[in-house]
Amino acid sequence: MAEWLNAAVLKTVRPARVSWVRILLPPPFPPYPFMENLHEHFMREAIKEAIKAFDKGEVPVGAVIVHDKKIIARAHNQTELLKDPTAHAEMLAITQATSVLENARLEKTTMYVTMEPCAMCAGALVLARCPELYFGAWDPKAGACGTLFNIVHDDRLNHRIKTHGGLMERDSKTLLQEFFKNLRKEKR
């Protein structure tokens, strides 16, 4: 495996005019057969979505939904842009994924989101029957996957979600902290 990776890197740097970005980024083809952690790969994709939200002045939360090791939906927060309090990354990704699957149930899917879902998003994931959830940063003010509430594991509901919190937490948390730090500077 290491020989293959070295050969792939050499192929990308041999041309005379190569940008540093191309050298630093992974190859353009799906790298997961050779990746140590598939979950980190998909969380990086969610972080890319969060960066889009950050650049648009939205709270930087991004989400992707994966089915059969392929991303079928990706979204970022758009509450300010759409003037819609329900336009969270998770809600938009759920809508995209159900459209792609042509089914209201997200069976055999996994959601990756950069911040612990709120009560609305956790409830939507339960209703959509999403079996697995990975999230980055914990949300002490509105988290509904174990922090403030635990909707995804509530025995009174008809579905529970296998949940993994703290995946690439530092990356997600840093993005959120930077956003709110900038927001506080602007309000001064």
Per the residue annotation, which of 45, 90, 116, 169 is the catalytic one?
90
Q: How many angstroms separate the Cα of 71 from the Cα of each of 30, 63, 147, 170? A: 11, 10, 27, 23
Q: Are the C-beta atoms of 130 and 109 separated by less than 8 Å?
A: yes
As beta bridge partners, residue 66 has 71, 110
Number of H helices, E strands in the chain: 7, 5
Specify the pairing of strand 109-115 against strand 62-67: antiparallel
Report how far residue 65's alpha carbon sits from residue 7's, in angstroms, rounded to the nearest whole number: 31
Indicate if 90 belongs to the active site: yes
Known catalytic residues are 90
